[in-house]
Chains A and B, each alone.
Chain A
Amino acid sequence: MLDRNQIAQRIAQEVKNGWYVNLGIGIPTLIANYVPEGISVEFQSENGILGMGPFPFEGEEDADLINAGKQTITARPGAAIFDSAISFAMIRGQHINLTVLGAMEVSQNGDIANWKIPGKLVKGMGGAMDLVASAENIIVAMMHTNRKGDSKILKQCTLPLTGVGCVKKVVTNMAVLEVLGDGFRLLERAPGVSVAEIREATAARLVIEGEVPEIAF
Chain B
Amino acid sequence: MNKVCANAGAAIVGISNEMTLMLGGFGLCGIPENCIAALVKSGVTGLTCISNNAGVDDFGLGLLLQNRQIRKMIASYVGENAEFERQMLSGELEVDLIPQGSLAERCRAGGAGIPAFFTPAGYGTEIAEGKEVREFNGKPHILEAALTADFAIVKAWKGDTLGNLIYKGTARNFNPVMAMAGKITIAEVEELVEPGELDPNYIHTPGVFVQRIFQGAKFEKRIEQRTVRSRS
| Residues of chain A within 8 A of B102, CB atoms compared | 129-130
Contact B225 A125 (CB under 8 A): no
| Residues of chain A within 8 A of B171, CB atoms compared | 63-64
Tell me how many residues of B have a C-beta within 8 Å of chain A: 58
Stretch at the interface among B9-17, B22-30, B36-44: B22-30
A residues with CB within 8 A of B: 45-49, 54-58, 60-73, 75, 81-85, 87-88, 91-92, 111, 119, 122-130, 133-134, 160-165
Contact A124 B170 (CB under 8 A): no
Contact B172 A66 (CB under 8 A): no
| Residues of chain B within 8 A of A133, CB atoms compared | 99, 119-123
Contact A57 B97 (CB under 8 A): no
| Residues of chain A within 8 A of B173, CB atoms compared | 47-48, 83-84
Whole-angstrom distance between the alpha carbons of A91 and B99 in the complex?
A: 12
> Could you tell me which residues of chain B, from 183 to 224, have a CB within 8 Å of some CB in chain A?
204, 221-224
For B29, give the chain A residue with the smallest CB separation.
Answer: A66
Contact B121 A124 (CB under 8 A): no
Contact A88 B170 (CB under 8 A): no
| Residues of chain B within 8 A of A60, CB atoms compared | 228
- Taken residue by residue from 104 to 135, chain B's Cβ proximity to chain A (1 for < 8 Å, 0 otherwise) reads as 11011000000000011111111100000000
Contact A124 B75 (CB under 8 A): yes
Which DSSP category, helix, strand, loop or mixed, fits chain A's interface?
loop
Contact of B99 among A45, A82, A123, A125 (CB under 8 A): A125
For A84, give the chain B residue with the smallest CB separation.
Answer: B104
In the assembled complex, the CB of A124 is this many whole angstroms from the nearest CB of chain B, namely 4
Contact A62 B77 (CB under 8 A): no
Given known contacts A83-B177, A124-B77, A64 and B124 CB-to-CB distance under 8 angstroms: no
B residues with CB within 8 A of A: 26-30, 52, 75-80, 85, 88-89, 95, 97, 99-105, 107-108, 119-127, 157, 168-177, 204, 221-231
| Residues of chain B within 8 A of A58, CB atoms compared | 228-231
| Residues of chain B within 8 A of A129, CB atoms compared | 99-102, 121-122, 125, 127
| Residues of chain B within 8 A of A130, CB atoms compared | 99-102, 119, 121
Other than the known A47-B26, A64-B170, A161-B124, what 5 A-B pairs have Cβ atoms closer than 8 Å?
A46-B100, A57-B228, A83-B175, A124-B97, A129-B101
Interface centre among B89, B121, B168, B177 (most CB of A within 10 A): B121
| Residues of chain B within 8 A of A55, CB atoms compared | 227-229
A-B contacts, 10 listed (Cβ < 8 Å): A63-B28, A70-B225, A72-B223, A81-B169, A92-B119, A124-B75, A125-B77, A126-B77, A129-B99, A133-B123
Given known contacts A123-B79, A129-B122, A69 and B172 CB-to-CB distance under 8 angstroms: no
For A165, give the chain B residue with the smallest CB separation.
Answer: B124
In the assembled complex, the CB of A91 is this many whole angstroms from the nearest CB of chain B, namely 6
